[in-house]
Amino acid sequence: MADEASPRAVVVDDNLMFAMMIEPQLKRLGYQARTLSGGPATAQELAASPPDVLFVNLTSTRHPAVELVRELRGRAELAKTGIVGYAGHVERRFFQEGRDAGADMVVPNSAVRASLPEVLAKLQRRRAGAAEEEWPEE
């Protein structure tokens, strides 16, 4: 169970069914987790209370998610926040766009659903400076 000292994770996804699959997994892993559906105030809200890790659905239809990642990466308050973008494995353009915008990693939806502990471990290693290969896009 997460407490105030637990790391914090935020999922930004307008597909709340998908986000609700991720949030319980994060909680089981000891994170305080919550979901935002995106929109104009999202960047300000995240900057006011920076999470340790942020998951962003790069294919969101409610907000321009790639632009959100770019904006968040430009905010000093979020410099320590690990950003993981995700998209369907057939939506290849989002993988490169997410990386170009400043996401630490971009992974397929299936990796977030089925391999979340591995995704988080790889993110931690990458944020610590380890050179690692990209997650396979499947």
Tell me if 44 sits within 8 A of 86, measured CB to CB.
no
- Classify residue 136: in a domain, yes or no: no
The tens place of each residue's pLDDT in the chain, 138 residues long, gives 556 789 999 999 998 899 899 999 999 999 999 999 888 889 999 999 999 999 999 998 778 899 999 999 999 999 999 999 999 988 889 999 999 999 999 999 999 999 999 999 999 998 888 776 666 654
Give how many domains the chain has, as a whole number: 1
Task: List the CATH number of the domain containing 65.
Answer: 3.40.50.2300
**134 CB contacts (<8 Å, ≥6 apart)?**
105, 106
- Classify residue 27: in a domain, yes or no: yes
Q: Which domain holds residue 67?
A: 8-127
Other beta carbons within 10 Å of 82: 20
Task: Please give the pLDDT value at position 137.
Answer: 56
Is the C-alpha dihedral spanning 131, 115, 97, 55 positive or negative?
negative
Tell me if 87 sits within 8 A of 106, measured CB to CB.
yes
- Classify residue 104: in a domain, yes or no: yes
The CA distances from residue 122 to 14, 27, 64, 66, 126, in Å, are 25, 18, 26, 21, 6
Task: Please give the pLDDT value at position 138.
Answer: 43
Task: Please give the pLDDT value at position 73.
Answer: 94
Task: Please give the pLDDT value at position 135.
Answer: 63
